[in-house]
Amino acid sequence: MVENTEKQTFGFQAEVKQLLHLMIHALYSNKEIFIRELISNASDAADKLRFESLRDPMLMVDDPDLKVWITLDKEAHTITIRDNGIGMTREEVVQNLGTIARSGTREFLNSLTGDKAKDSKLIGQFGVGFYSSFIVADKVIVTTRRAGVPEGEATRWTSTGEGEYDIETVSYPKRGTEVVLHLKQEEEEFLNDWRLRHIITKYSDHLTLPVIMQKEKGEEEGEGESGEEVVNRATALWTLPKSEITEEQYKELYKHVAHDFEDPLMWSHNKVEGKLEYISLLYIPARAPFDLWQVGKTRGLKLYVKRVFIMDDAEQFLPHYLRFVRGIIDSNDLPLNISREILQNNRVIDAIRTAITKRVLGMLEELAEDKDKYQKFWKEFGQVLKEGPVEDFANKQQIAKLLRFASTHVDNEKQDVSLAEYIARMPSGQSKIYYVTAETFNAAKHSPHLEIFRKKGIEVLLLSDRVDEWVMGHLTEFEGKPLQSITRGGLDLGELTDKTAEEHYKQVEGDFSETLNKIKEVLKESVKEVRLSRRLTDSPACIVLDEQDLSSQMERLLKASGQPVPIHKPILELNPDHMMIRHLREEQDTARLEDWARILLDQAILAEGGQLEDPASFVRRFNKLLLELTK
Ligand code: ADP
**15 has a pLDDT exceeding 50:** yes
Q: Measured between alpha carbons, how far is 79 from 536 in angstroms, rounded to an integer?
A: 74
Same domain? For 489 and 503 the reply is no
Q: Assess whether pLDDT exceeds 80 at residue 294.
A: no
Give the number of domains in the chain.
4
Closest residue to atom 8 of ligand 1, CA basis:
129
pLDDT greater at residue 60 or residue 217: 60
Q: Is residue 344 part of a domain?
A: yes
Q: Whose CA is nearest to atom 21 of ligand 1?
A: 41
Q: Whose CA is nearest to atom 1 of ligand 1?
A: 129
Ligand 1 centroid, distance to 144 Cα (angstroms): 12
547 vs 189: which has the higher pLDDT: 189
- Mean pLDDT over 435-449 rounds to 92
Query: Does residue 437 lie within any of the structural domains?
Result: yes
Backbone angles phi, psi at 550, to 5 degrees: -75, 135
Instruction: Output the pLDDT for position 264.
Output: 96
Distance 130 CA to ligand 1 centre (A): 6
State the chain's mean pLDDT as an integer.
89
Q: Which atom of ligand 1 is nearest to the CA of 131?
A: 6
- 171 in any annotated domain: yes
Most confident of 29-43, 88-102, 371-385: 371-385
- pLDDT tier at 202 (50, 70, 90 boundaries)? confident
CATH of the domain at 508: 1.20.120.790
For residue 354, being part of any structural domain is answered with yes
Q: How far is CA 53 from CA 21, 63, 210, 312, in A?
A: 38, 12, 19, 17
Examine the fold and report which residue of 457, 480, 497 is the final residue of a domain before the chain moves on: 497
Least confident residue range of 8-17, 186-195, 478-487: 8-17
Same domain (yes/no): 172, 251: no
Mean pLDDT confidence for 63-74:
95
Query: Is it the case that residue 619 has pLDDT exceeding 50?
Result: yes
Residue 390 lies in a domain: no
Residue with CA nearest ligand 1 atom 17? 96
Assigned domain for 235 exists = no
Cα separation, 167 vs 436, whole angstroms: 61
Per-residue pLDDT, 328: 96
* pLDDT given at position 175: 96
435 has a pLDDT exceeding 90? yes
Q: Is the pLDDT of residue 4 over 60?
A: no
Looking at the CA of residue 128, tell me the nearest atom of ligand 1: 6
Mutation test residue for ligand 1: of 41, 291, 312, the one with most atoms within 8 Å of CB: 41
Using the mean position of ligand 1's atoms as its centre, give its distance from the Cα of residue 198 in Å.
24
Range of the domain at 190: 5-218
The pLDDT assigned to 221 comes to: 52
| Residue 1 alpha carbon to ligand 1 centre in Å | 24
With pLDDT > 70 as the criterion, what percentage of the chain qualifies? 97
474 CA distance to ligand 1 centroid (A)?
43
Between 264 and 295, the more confident residue is: 264
Sorting pLDDT into bands at 50, 70 and 90, what band is 218?
low
Query: Do residues 340 and 418 both lie within one domain?
Result: no
One domain for residues 92 and 213: yes
Q: Which residues line ligand 1 (CB under 6 A)?
A: 37, 41-42, 45, 83, 85-88, 96, 127, 129-131, 177, 259
CA distance linking residue 136 with residue 33, whole number of Å: 10
Q: Do 371 and 504 have their domain in common?
A: no
Residue type for position 519: I
- The Å distance, Cα 441 to ligand 1 centre, comes to 43
Q: Is residue 538 part of a domain?
A: yes
Same domain as 182, residue 248: no
What's the gap in Å between 28 CA and the centre of ligand 1? 21
Q: How high is the pLDDT of residue 3? A: 47
Whether the predicted pLDDT of 219 surpasses 50: no
Burial letters 567-596, b for 16+ CB under 10 A, else e: eeebbbbbbbbbeebbebeebeeeeebbbb
The size of the chain, in residues, is 631
From 19, 23, 36, 44, the mutation candidate for ligand 1 (largest count of ligand atoms within 8 A of CB) is: 44
Residue 503: per-residue pLDDT: 86
> What is the rounded CA–CA span in Å between residue 71 and residue 226?
12
Q: Same domain for 511 and 487?
A: no
Q: Higher pLDDT residue, 91 or 505?
A: 91
What's the pLDDT score for residue 383? 94
The pLDDT of residue 220 is above 70: no
Residue 333: is its pLDDT beyond 50? yes
Residue 1 has what pLDDT? 42
Q: What is the pLDDT of residue 203?
A: 87
Region 17-41 average pLDDT:
86
pLDDT of residue 44 exceeding 90 = yes
Task: Say what the pLDDT of residue 225 is.
Answer: 55
Residue 337 confidence (pLDDT)? 77
Same domain, 455 and 535: no
Whether 52 and 178 map to the same domain: the answer is yes
Q: Of 65-69, 113-117, 484-488, which gets the smallest average pLDDT?
A: 113-117
The continuous run of DSSP H or E covering 485 comes out as strand 481-485
Rounded to the nearest whole angstrom, what is the distance from the C-alpha of residue 306 to the centroid of ligand 1? 24
CA 131 – ligand 1 centroid, Å: 10
Q: Which residue has the higher pLDDT, 209 or 346?
A: 209
8 Å CB contact between 175 and 155: no
Task: With a cut of 70, say whether residue 2 has pLDDT above it.
Answer: no
Residue 206 pLDDT grade (very low, low, confident, very high; cuts 50, 70, 90): confident
Is residue 222 over pLDDT 60?
no
Write the CATH number for 347: 3.30.230.80
